[in-house]
């Protein structure tokens, strides 16, 4: 049995309590000064002040990490990514910077069509190799659980291959991976005007295989003007639920379409993006346990207005933050950047940001009973900062200050 004690933490952030945390409760992160955590066989068995905890345990029986002058937090959870894909679109980023329109880029064969073409030409082995490298970089920034979406195949074979890569990585990599089937991510030119035909293919041909093989825990759809309507999204997601999948939605990113309200109607786990979510949609979110997953790095990269994170929290919503790491609109898996943007542009406090990246993000991926807080009985997924306070996280703008990463009670990064 592996046994570990982390002691003398200047600040021990537990994020204990009800999950998810709504509104003002997001500021309550269960801080313990001079904190201590006891871990046995991958599980947290005791939490409290160093003085009270060490009275109960013989330190000689444990590996010891002295966290003096360091802050200790739950492992971060990146609850919205597209980290398995083929190819790159760096040239498009430069085109966008000089003012080229999305449509002109599409006419040159760019946009999601480019990613689909590259992803279809990427083998399972290549997905696994590049996925491992990306997961390593995420873990170095303190991420211990990540959600990953398919959605760059838009056909049966490639969608399944993306999910199979995540399944294999979940077995071989220290990171916990939560797989999401996002078959209806876009409509390729050959399906323009035949969106219902495409959706029926996803529902009748791909979804049953995904469910039968256990390749995904969630289903997701891009509910947006000129992509998939409210009615189409309801049809797809209802079909997915019948097959045992939990639900997410890309909602109200570009146009106020009503995807936020649909998320509440179907009691989804999360509604993501929400840049254009209506006041009524936000009100409904606040009265539900649907997580509002906000993606500030995408707004940053696209030079869009940010989602109304401050208003959502003040309205009583449960807010999570994630990177939206993808090959087109947001090629970053940087948690430090997300923290900086949430603090500087979304007016969130560091306490709210931590709740959004831990306990609320855990709820967004259906893992709140296992991870997201430092509590007795939960998995020992923990990060230790180089500095004595959580306030160094936004202060070090977009800089990684995670010194040690502990996953399932084992030190993955650090001494």
CATH 3.90.1150.10 fits 77-364, yes or no: no
- Known binding residue 328? Answer is yes
E-assigned strands of 137-245? 143-149, 176-181, 218-219, 222-223
Query: Given this model, what pLDDT does residue 111 score?
Result: 80
- Known binding residue 96? Answer is no
Measured CA to CA, the distance from residue 126 to residue 137 in angstroms comes to 17
- Known binding residue 345? Answer is no
- Domain locations along the chain: 3-74+373-413, 77-364
- Known binding residue 273? Answer is no
Whether residue 116 contacts residue 176, with contact meaning beta carbons closer than 8 Å, is answered with: no
Query: Given this model, what pLDDT does residue 236 score?
Result: 98
pLDDT digits (tens, 9 = 90+) for 316-335: 999 999 999 999 989 999 99
Name the stretches of the chain with pLDDT < 50: none
Query: Given this model, what pLDDT does residue 103 score?
Result: 58
- Known binding residue 391? Answer is no
E-assigned strands of 198-259? 218-219, 222-223, 246-251
Output DSSP code: residue 213. Answer: T
Query: Given this model, what pLDDT does residue 1 score?
Result: 78
Query: Given this model, what pLDDT does residue 414 score?
Result: 79
Query: Given this model, what pLDDT does residue 106 score?
Result: 65
- Known binding residue 409? Answer is no
pLDDT digits (tens, 9 = 90+) for 29-70: 999 999 999 999 999 999 999 999 999 999 999 999 999 999
- Known binding residue 324? Answer is yes
- At the fourth CATH level, the homologous superfamily of domain 3-74+373-413 is Urease, subunit C, domain 1 (2.30.40.10)
Query: Given this model, what pLDDT does residue 231 score?
Result: 98
> Of 56, 48, 58, nearest to 7 (Cα)?
48
- Known binding residue 80? Answer is yes
Query: Given this model, what pLDDT does residue 270 score?
Result: 98
- Known binding residue 82? Answer is yes
Measured CA to CA, the distance from residue 53 to residue 115 in angstroms comes to 52
| pTM, two decimal places | 0.97
């Amino acid at each position: 049995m592996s046994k570990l004690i982390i002691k003398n933490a200047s600040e021990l952030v537990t994020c204990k309590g009800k999950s998810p945390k709504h509104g003002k409760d997001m500021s309550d992160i269960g801080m313990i000064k001079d904190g201590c955590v006891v871990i046995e066989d991958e599980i947290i068995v005791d939490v409290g002040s160093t003085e009270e905890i060490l009275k109960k345990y013989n330190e000689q029986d444990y590996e010891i990490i002295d966290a003096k002058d360091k802050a200790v937090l739950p492992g971060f959870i990146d609850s919205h990514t597209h980290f398995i894909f083929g190819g790159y679109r760096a040239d498009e980023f430069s085109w966008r910077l000089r003012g080229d329109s999305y449509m002109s880029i599409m006419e040159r064969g760019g946009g999601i069509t480019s990613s689909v073409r590259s992803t279809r030409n990427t083998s399972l082995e290549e997905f696994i190799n590049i996925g491992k490298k990306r997961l390593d970089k995420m873990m170095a920034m303190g991420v211990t659980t990540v959600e990953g979406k398919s959605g760059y195949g838009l056909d049966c074979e490639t969608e399944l291959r993306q999910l199979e890569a995540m399944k294999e990585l979940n077995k071989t990599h220290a990171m916990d991976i939560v797989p999401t089937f996002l078959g209806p991510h876009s409509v390729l030119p050959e399906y323009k005007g035949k969106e219902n035909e495409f959706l029926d293919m996803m529902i009748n041909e791909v979804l049953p295989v995904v469910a039968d093989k256990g390749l995904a825990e969630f289903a997701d759809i891009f509910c947006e003007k000129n992509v998939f309507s409210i009615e189409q999204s309801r049809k797809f997601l209802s079909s997915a639920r019948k097959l045992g999948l939990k639900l997410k939605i890309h909602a109200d990113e570009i146009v106020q379409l009503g995807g936020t309200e649909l998320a509440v109607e179907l009691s989804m786990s999360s509604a993501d993006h929400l840049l254009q979510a209506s006041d009524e949609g936000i009100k409904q979110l606040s009265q539900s346990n649907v997580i509002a997953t906000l993606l500030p790095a995408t707004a940053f990269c696209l030079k869009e207005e940010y989602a109304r994170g401050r208003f959502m929290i003040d309205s009583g919503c449960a807010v999570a933050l994630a990177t939206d790491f993808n090959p087109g609109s947001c090629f970053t898996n940087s948690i430090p950047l997300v923290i900086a943007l949430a603090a500087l542009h979304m007016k969130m406090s560091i306490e709210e940001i931590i709740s959004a990246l831990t306990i609320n993000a855990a709820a967004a991926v259906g893992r709140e009973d296992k991870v997201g807080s430092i509590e007795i009985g939960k998995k020992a997924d923990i990060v230790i900062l180089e500095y004595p306070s959580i306030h160094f996280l936004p202060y070090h703008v977009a800089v990684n200050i995670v010194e040690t990463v502990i996953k399932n009670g084992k030190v993955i990064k650090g001494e």
